[in-house]
Amino acid sequence: MTYDNLERQIAMALLNILHYPDERLHTVATAIDTFDEALQQRIEDMFETMYEAKGIGLAATQVNYHKRLVVMDLSEEKDERRVFINPEILEKDGETVYEEGCLSVPGVYEKVTRAERVKVRAQGSDGTPFELEADGLLAICIQHEIDHLDGKVFVEYLSELKQNRIKSKLKKREKQNI
């Protein structure tokens, strides 16, 4: 390992992921307007945290940073990093049901109905605006992560009974881990 790589690894940090039903997950994120070194470091830390947790997407809200920032990598090789800053869905089309999981709701997988295709507008890590049309898993992931930025967790699409069961299960698990 070179000195530069070591220095970069030391600078990166694993972030704490908030777990449902933590109230901070319901905070609506605000826009990012400064694209500086601190933001670039936050993006790197979020990717490192997401990869370590074996996730494919992570919204800043999940790591108690309430800005409109999402990182994503759906590839098996973990080499197709995507950054969405200030994302907004412009269009939705179709309907699909997909079994979703979430780093903030560990061990829980439930079927959720979402739009099959979306068109999103966002900015990249350097502030450059872009638009993207997505379908399949990418469209689902975009919707899931933008929900986090809007203060919504995927289990809130489920019945109240299922939500209460999930809360009880997670609270019990948390007590056992303490």
CB 63 within 8 A of CB 46: yes
Q: Mean of the per-residue pLDDT values for the chain?
A: 93
Q: The pTM is what? A: 0.90
161 within some domain: yes
Within a domain: residue 2?
no
Q: Which pLDDT score is estimated for 11?
A: 59
Q: Is 44 one of the catalytic residues? A: no
pLDDT confidence of 174, banded at 50, 70, 90? confident
Residue 58 lies in a domain: yes
In this structure, the number of other CB atoms found within 10 A of the CB of residue 6 comes to 10
Tens digit of each residue's pLDDT (9 = 90 or more) over 65-115: 999 999 999 999 999 999 999 999 999 999 999 999 999 999 999 999 999
**Of 52, 77, 131, 145, which residue is the catalytic one?**
145
Give per-residue pLDDT as tens, 110-147.
Answer: 999 999 999 999 999 999 999 999 999 999 999 999 99
Domain of 166? 23-173
19 is in an annotated binding site: no
Q: What share of the chain is helix, strand, coil (3-state, %, to 5)?
A: 40, 30, 30
Question: How many separate domains does the chain show?
Answer: 1
| 172 band by pLDDT with thresholds 50, 70 and 90 | confident
- 144 annotated binding-site participant: yes
For residues 24-33, give the mean pLDDT: 98
Residue 65, domain member (yes or no): yes
Does residue 82 sit within a domain?
A: yes
12 in a structural domain: no
According to the annotation, is 66 in a ligand binding site?
A: no
- pLDDT at residue 3 above 70? no
Residue 42 counted as domain residue: yes
CATH number at residue 75: 3.90.45.10
Judged against a pLDDT cut of 90, whether residue 1 lies above it is answered with: no
Cis status, amide bond into 21, omega within 30 of 0: yes
- Domain membership of residue 14 (yes or no) is no
Distance CA 8, CA 141 (A): 28
